[in-house]
Amino acid sequence: MTRSSSGPISGKSRNRYYSGPPSDHFDGERFFNPGGSAPHGLGAVLRWKLKGGARKWPVAVPSPHAPDLPPQRLAPGALRVSFAGHASFLIQAGGLNLLTDPVWSHRASPFERLGPSRYNAPGIAFDDLPPLDGILLSHGHYDHLDIATLKRLWQRHRAPVLTPLGNDGIIAAKAPEVEVRTADWGEAFDLGAVTAFLEPAHHWSARGTRDRNHALWGAFMLKSAGGSVYFAGDTGFAGGHHFTDARQRHGVPDIALLPIGAYEPRWFMRDSHMNPADAVEALKLLGSPVALGYHWGTFRLSDEGAHDPAEALAGHAEALAADGQRFIPALPGEVWQREIAGG
């Protein structure tokens, strides 16, 4: 089931973006994590920031990979994943081209001169993107939903944005020309050669101080003739049930895209962001033979060092290899690809 964009909510609704019946993750006003945790309040944010303890980052975190020059199209039986940076992947599957959480702006922020800025350039130049068939948008935080990039993509590609409930209202307020389709957890977007299932994640959403959890967040499981891809969006581990459930519903994905950064201090970030150890456990639950780690090294969002996520993952490499799995801390420009016989 898919829904069309409804735009911002007007009238007496206290939710700025979405109006709908209550469910096991929506109380009629706000979305929530069933059996999980709510995001920390302003007091906890101040406690974190005043305590200090953030590790220094270098002036830049350049990638050793040259920017990718992706093909315009692949055969339906081929699968290719290219990393642009942070949470932005180009997924070429089923003959279609899909982009996740695209941010090509210099800052992940509502402000032009304040907020997290890039430590490396996108691993795919904007002008080198192939024709797009859809944009998978996991949630509304600024490091995932970048209005400026969505406007540029719409002008160039006219590809619809596929996103959880309520995020259409955020986009419509600033870019009403962009086509947005929304779905709830457990529903799917039918793109013909690719089906994008919207899966639960353990996270939260906000664009400001008065719209917390007014829009839903989620992960995506993509299934096509070329294989299957799990994109976790942004999530805490939270017992790992959403990974186990995704595997039970859809089978083992051929590749898992899992966040590994923005995890310190742990007392503050645990419920919203996985650390590398959590991500390794998520990979084991999903059962994928390979994973690409993202959400690290591009925007400084938390207290760990720029290279800490990759170094922590390295400590798990031998154990994963014994289980026939690989977990690669992706850097901008990195590409994973395979062909399906007869594709």
CB atoms under 10 Å from CB of 92, counted, come to: 25
The residue whose two tokens read 């950064």 is 261
Q: What domains does the chain contain, in order, with CATH numbers?
A: 67-333 (3.60.15.10)
Are 134 and 159 within 8 A, CB to CB?
yes
- 61: burial class by Cβ within 10 Å (0-12, 13-18, 19+)? middle
Instruction: List the 194-199 sheet strands across, edge first.
Output: 188-190, 194-199, 219-224, 227-231, 255-259, 290-294, 326-329
Are 7 and 172 within 8 A, CB to CB?
yes
What's the pLDDT tens digit per position in 131-173?
A: 999 999 999 999 999 999 999 999 999 999 999 999 999 999 9
Residue 5 predicted with pLDDT over 70: no
Sorted by sequence, the CB contacts under 8 Å of residue 81 that are 6+ apart come out as 89, 90, 91, 92, 229, 255, 257, 292, 335, 336, 337
Rounded to an integer, the average pLDDT of 280-287 is 98
First to last CA, the chain: 28
Residue 10 predicted with pLDDT over 70: no
Strand pairing category for 188-190 and 3-4: unpaired
| Beta bridge partner(s), residue 248 | none
What are the Cα distances from residue 277, in Å, to 48, 75, 187, 284, 317?
A: 22, 36, 30, 11, 11
**Model pTM?**
0.94
Are 87 and 138 within 8 A, CB to CB?
yes
What's the pLDDT tens digit per position in 88-145?
A: 999 999 999 999 999 999 999 999 889 999 999 999 999 999 999 999 999 999 999 9
pLDDT more than 90, % of the chain: 88
pLDDT more than 70, % of the chain: 95
What pLDDT shows up at residue 4? 40
DSSP type of residue 159? P
Residue 8 predicted with pLDDT over 70: no
Residue 1 predicted with pLDDT over 90: no
Sorted by sequence, the CB contacts under 8 Å of residue 19 that are 6+ apart come out as 6, 9, 13
DSSP type of residue 299? B
CA 326 to chain CA mean position, Å: 20
The residue whose two tokens read 């998978």 is 136
What pLDDT shows up at residue 51? 85
Q: DSSP assignment of 30-91, as one string?
A: -B--TTS-PPP-HHHHHHHHHH--PPP--S----SSPPP---S---TTEEEEEEEETTEEEE
b/e burial code for range 133-148 (CB count within 10 A of at least 16 → b): bbbbbbbbbbbbbbbe
Instruction: List the 96-100 sheet strands across, edge first.
Output: 3-4, 180-183, 161-164, 134-136, 96-100, 88-93, 78-85, 335-339
At 257, is the secondary structure helix, strand, or coil?
strand
Q: Which one of 2-6, 9-13, 208-212 scores highest in mean pLDDT?
A: 208-212
| Beta bridge partner(s), residue 180 | 161
Rounded to an integer, the average pLDDT of 175-199 is 98
Distance CA 216, CA 230 (A): 18
Residue 12: band (very low, low, confident or very high) from pLDDT cuts 50, 70, 90: low
CB atoms under 10 Å from CB of 116, counted, come to: 16
